Chain A
Amino acid sequence: MSTQSPQRPESTGSTESTGNAGSPQGPAGAPAAGTDAYAGGAAGAVRAGAAPARPAGLLRQLRRNRLAFSGAVIAAVFVLVALAAPLIAPYDPARADFGSALAPPGLDHWLGTDDLGRDQLSRVIHGARASMQVGVLAVALAFAAGVPLGLLAGYYGRFADSLVSRLTDTLLAFPFLVLAVGLAAVLGPSLLNATIAIGVSLVPQVIRVTRAETLRLKHLDYIGATIAGGGGDGTVLARHILPNAASALLVQATVGVPTAIIGEALLSFLGLGVQPPEPSLGVMLSSAQPYIAAAPWMAVFPGLAIVAATLAFNLFGDGLRDVLDPRGVTR
């Protein structure tokens, strides 16, 4: 989609000048059909072989971008909280206590309680667990389906490519929520079905990035040489293309997580995901709606938790993209 034409060839420098122009050959006005020959060659070699990310250098570079670094820290905290939810939650997230229902934030309940007197903080902490669970599983699902299809389309081209394209178009024709609604209608609303819907909706983007990277890498000289040298398709894909596409895919995974987190909250909010009384940020928001005027904290804190998590992953993803994907394939 880029409007860029191929890279300009570097000026060759006078020490290599050809001196041919002094003795013109050919008619003056001859249209230069040959000049378009630039078009193919240079474009592929722009980011020759994108060095695979080295963890140490990556961290250092990320630390320079303060926003991205704080995003990474918040995201890490979010992950830790999700993992350790049962250990750090002050109350049982499901225990109702009608005596202290709709209590505003205070010393006993830092984030207040909901209409059933359940501790909001504990529910937010456990909700983060559900968010992360869906985030990771959905992205994993999207990669499991999208990466092979993207490799197939990019590497073999032609028939495989148009087949995968039609498949992608078909998936895209079901907007994420419509797909989730359809699945919920057929299989019944549940967290698993919500995860599947979210994962499937992430697939087209993963296919697109994998395909673009594969196409780019396939045309790099050294990989072309491996192919020409009789390297099997499996070898080329596993040893050369996948490792080099890893950076772009890593970025894609990072930006997929916040999408999935929002997706889970959204589906749970609509009643298509996590089912009450299981805690989920979306379920909390949904049950907050009737009490929006009386107990605004019920809506504010789960929402802030979602915003903090998605903001963190987005910042981290943006920073990662700046470092790993200067050409913006994953954009």
Chain B
Amino acid sequence: MTRYALRRLGQSAVTLVLVSIVVFLGVRAMPGDTARALAGEETNPKALEAIRHQYGLDQNIAVQYGRYVEQAVTGDLGTSARTGLPVVDAIFEALPVTLELALLSLLLAVVVGIGAGVVAAVRRGRPAEWFANTLALLGLSVPNFWLGIVLILGFAIAVPVFAASGFVPFGTDPLENLRRMVLPVVVLGSGLAAIVMRQTRAAMLESLSADYVRTARAKGLAPHQVVGGHALRNSLVTVVTVLGLQLGHLISGAVVTEQIFVLPGFGKLMIDAVFTRDYAMVQGVVLFTAAGYILVNLAVDLLYSVIDPRIRLGGAP
């Protein structure tokens, strides 16, 4: 376990360094004067000079990178050119919105996806499987931003049950918060649910025909013990892996969903920053997202080593 964890930790650290280099070079690679870009609307030569000094642009690139990393590690991701406030503050303000959206969507995807996947595998060849497969295919083929528009048309305009836009903090009004989150969560969760469902179904079909399931039946176990205790337990390894791989989709999806439903989250922060040419903000948000992605992925890997003893104990493939 520890050896595996350490190796994964090392890999993640290497990736993190590479990511920081890419992000660092990304802004430096911009055509034109970096200081001018970082300054945003500011064109005062004195201010530019200050920025040049603040970001160390007058120094050698390796030194610049060192400074950049040092600042990032101490929580300084620069200052927003638009608001003049620290980028970190803006990130932490937007984070709860995105986290709520992402976690609720993940929950939806896991519950619906695994449930439908198991049903489709166990009821193979019956209408239930056909129904689940069709839903999954639609979930994969309907782009979530269009689904968002259609849902707004249906459930916020034609039949105004849910709100189409805006965010109310959970602490302020929990019910209103959830009412406004329903549509975004459905939009973001449905595509992921489709992917989880397909993987669960495929993995379940494989495990249900495995020898150890025959053994479980030969032991006289009840169907729910065979399906839940043996087949699903094995399939989870695959499903958790897939969930890890889909994290990127979740983040991308969150950006769009926030844009459609006007949620003041991470994605909106990022898109707005691009259009206002707030480069410090873009750089900060991209770095933060990538780092977060790496860390969550690490957590997922460690999680499935808990599920699968072959990984945990480093045994045969």
Contacts and interface: CB of A to CB of B under 8 A. Distances in A.
Interface of A: 1-4, 36, 39, 165-167, 169-170, 172-178, 181-182, 184-186, 189, 201, 258, 262, 265-266, 269-272, 285, 288-289, 292-293, 296, 299-300, 302-303, 306-307, 310-311, 314-315, 328, 331
Contacts of A201: 248
Closest 10 A-B residue pairs measured CB to CB?
Answer: A177-B252, A175-B248, A303-B146, A311-B141, A175-B251, A169-B15, A173-B290, A310-B141, A170-B18, A185-B282
A265 B282 contact: no
A259 B157 CA distance: 30
A2 B308 CA distance: 11
Contact of A272 (B138, B234, B260, B274): B274
Contacts of A189: 274
9 contacts: A169-B12, A173-B19, A177-B256, A177-B267, A178-B252, A185-B282, A266-B145, A269-B145, A310-B142
Contacts of A185: 273-274, 277, 279, 282
A181 B282 contact: yes
Interface stretch (B21-29, B63-71, B173-181): B21-29
A175 B235 CA distance: 26
B150 interface: yes
Interface string B1-38: 00000000001101100110011001101100000000
B149 interface: yes
A328 B201 CA distance: 13
Contacts of A184: 274
A4 B210 contact: yes
Given A3-B238, A331-B202, A307 B146 contact: yes
Contacts of B141: 258, 307, 310-311, 314
A182 B289 CA distance: 12
Interface in B287-317: 289-291, 293-294, 297, 308, 316-317
A182 B284 CA distance: 11
A307 B142 contact: yes
Nearest to B21: A170
Nearest to B145: A269
Interface centre among A39, A174, A296 (most CB of B within 10 A): A174
Nearest to A331: B202
A282 B23 CA distance: 28
B221 interface: no
B140 interface: yes
A31 to B, nearest CB: 15
A4 B206 contact: yes
Contacts of B206: 2-4
A174 B202 contact: no
A311 B137 contact: yes
Contacts of B199: 331
B166 interface: no
A296 B151 CA distance: 12
A36 B248 contact: no
A292 to B, nearest CB: 6
A197 B202 CA distance: 30
Given A166-B15, A299-B153, A39 B316 contact: yes
B80 interface: no
B238 A181 contact: no
Nearest to A282: B145
Contacts of A258: 141
Given A265-B145, A266-B252, 5 more contacts: A174-B290, A182-B286, A299-B149, A306-B143, A310-B142
Nearest to B295: A173
Contact of A314 (B140, B234, B237): B140
A276 B239 CA distance: 41
B152 interface: yes
A95 B141 CA distance: 31
A262 B146 CA distance: 10
Contacts of B259: 270
A166 B137 contact: no
Contacts of A300: 150
Interface string B191-203: 0000000010011
B15 A307 contact: no
A266 B143 contact: yes
A315 B256 CA distance: 25
A174 B149 contact: no
B217 to A, nearest CB: 18
A128 B291 CA distance: 36
Contacts of B152: 292
Nearest to B290: A173
B256 A288 contact: no
A244 B245 CA distance: 27
Contacts of B145: 265-266, 269, 285
B255 interface: yes
Contact of A271 (B146, B149, B275, B316): B275
